[in-house]
Amino acid sequence: MTDTLDPLFQPLKAGALNLRNRIVMAPLTRSRADHKTLAPRQINADYYGQRASAGMIIAEATQIMPEGQGYAWTPGIYSDEQIAGWKLVTDAVHAKGGTIVLQLWHVGRISHRDLQPGGKLPVAPSAVKPEGKAFTETGFKDLETPRALELDEIPGIVAQYGQASKNAIAAGFDGVEVHGANGYLLDQFLRDKTNLRTDAYGGSIPNRARFLLEATQAAVDAIGKERVGIRLSPVSPANDCADSNPEPLFTYVTEKLSEMGLAFLHVIEGETRGSRAPEGAFDLSVLRKAFKGVYIGNNGYDPKLAAARVANGEVDAVAFGRPFIANPDLVERIRDGAPLAQPDEATFYGGDAKGYVDYPTYREADAKVA
């Protein structure tokens, strides 16, 4: 390891979470839960256990309730079977000294009636049809025009964020990350392209931020602020979501989240899986200044950039996503300067062991060559 990468290998405390390095595994949807119960299985425990050297694993986006599902075979955290399945995962990570939190998810309109209980329409802040396709058990289908949530339905969903947080702790997780990014339900309420409401959850910035802040507070009330983080994507157009003036919106949201005393803020910097500085984006350093806790940067990082931004205090840690798919030993590869393997995109979603738990560490690969 060169001295320039040393900042990535310093420990970090985020609330009650102890990170042994600054390399975070970002949540990655892999659609490999049990097809019937949507509970994790032993293969999922093997996958996360292989990657336990990360400073912190943020486990894949996990629906807090049946209506929160938007992709085939993604896991839940609302049933006894799911809690037991996740316990396999957390035990595997903790056995190797790792730290792991669960990302809490409700997709809102990014779903399809084929994935919804009773074949009902997905829900959203407003009945605005998104562009794109849903990954269902029978293939990709066009997203539909969702049903706008009634005002009296919102408290029940907020409460589920609290219950899901309790379920995550029961499953052995060290904490949770509220998914407020990438055009899913909480993000849909934030942005004026998707939120056309005229009640207490629409219109002004405080009103549009209300649902996200209430959901996050429900998690805090359930398990304590020191075990709750949140993910935001202030300038990403993912899932056809956007806002006409994102800087004041996300500055307000971040200030309010900071007042809660959360363990960490996880920010997608730029477009999800795209440019770190898209045209028209505002300077995200204002969010770093507004949030008093641990700040995790994400999107388009390589080890050199990650180490430099940690060293400069621009971020406290960096989340890597896709590099962890083909590199279960990503931390060791960065430390030792080993080349990174490239993932097989055809095996990203669904399937079984292939492209999931069969990627070798670089030492295993070298041994085979030798």
For the segment 238-279, what is each residue's pLDDT rounded down to a tens digit?
999 999 999 999 999 999 999 999 999 999 998 887 878 787
Q: With a cut of 60, say whether residue 145 has pLDDT above it.
A: yes
Q: Which carries the bigger pLDDT value, residue 177 or residue 281?
A: 177
**The pLDDT value given to residue 1:** 63
Q: With a cut of 70, say whether residue 175 has pLDDT above it.
A: yes
Contact status, residue 30 vs residue 75, Cβ threshold 8 Å? no
The model's pTM: 0.97
The dotted CATH code for 3-369 is 3.20.20.70
Q: With a cut of 90, say whether residue 237 has pLDDT above it.
A: yes
Cα–Cα distance measured from residue 32 to residue 268, given in angstroms and rounded to the nearest whole number: 24
- Per-residue pLDDT tens over the stretch 106-126: 999 999 999 999 999 999 999
Cα–Cα distance measured from residue 228 to residue 230, given in angstroms and rounded to the nearest whole number: 7
**The pLDDT value given to residue 226:** 98
- Annotate the chain with three-state secondary structure: CCHHHHHHHCCEEECCEEECCCEEECCCCCCCCCCCCCCCCHHHHHHHHHCCCCCEEEEEEEECCHHHCCECCCCECCCHHHHHHHHHHHHHHHHCCCCEEEEEECCCCCCCHHHCHHHCCCEECCCCCCCCEEEECCEEEECCCCEECCHHHHHHHHHHHHHHHHHHHHCCCCEEEEECCCCCHHHHHHCCCCCCCCCCCCCCHHHHHHHHHHHHHHHHHHHCHHHEEEEECCCCCHHHCCCCCHHHHHHHHHHHHHHHCCCEEEEECCCCCCCCCCCCCCCCHHHHHHCCCEEEEECCCCHHHHHHHHHCCCCCEEEECCHHHHCCCHHHHHHHCCCCCCCCHHHCCCCCCCCCCCCCCHHHHHHHHC
**The pLDDT value given to residue 270:** 84
Cα–Cα distance measured from residue 7 to residue 317, given in angstroms and rounded to the nearest whole number: 9
**The pLDDT value given to residue 55:** 98
Contact status, residue 175 vs residue 15, Cβ threshold 8 Å? yes
Q: What is the mean pLDDT of residues 80-92?
A: 98
Q: What is the mean pLDDT of residues 100-109?
A: 98
**The pLDDT value given to residue 369:** 57
Cα–Cα distance measured from residue 162 to residue 155, given in angstroms and rounded to the nearest whole number: 11
Tokens of 95: 């056995």
**The pLDDT value given to residue 274:** 81
Select from 236, 192, 231, 202 the least CA-distant residue to 215. 231
Q: What is the mean pLDDT of residues 288-294?
A: 97
Count Cβ atoms below 10 Å from residue 353 Cβ, excluding itself.
Answer: 12
The one-letter amino acid at 84: A
Q: With a cut of 90, say whether residue 198 has pLDDT above it.
A: yes
- 184 part of the active site: yes
Q: Which of 47, 184, 301, 359 is catalytic?
A: 184
Confidence band of 370 (pLDDT split at 50, 70, 90): low
| Chain centroid to CA 279 | 24
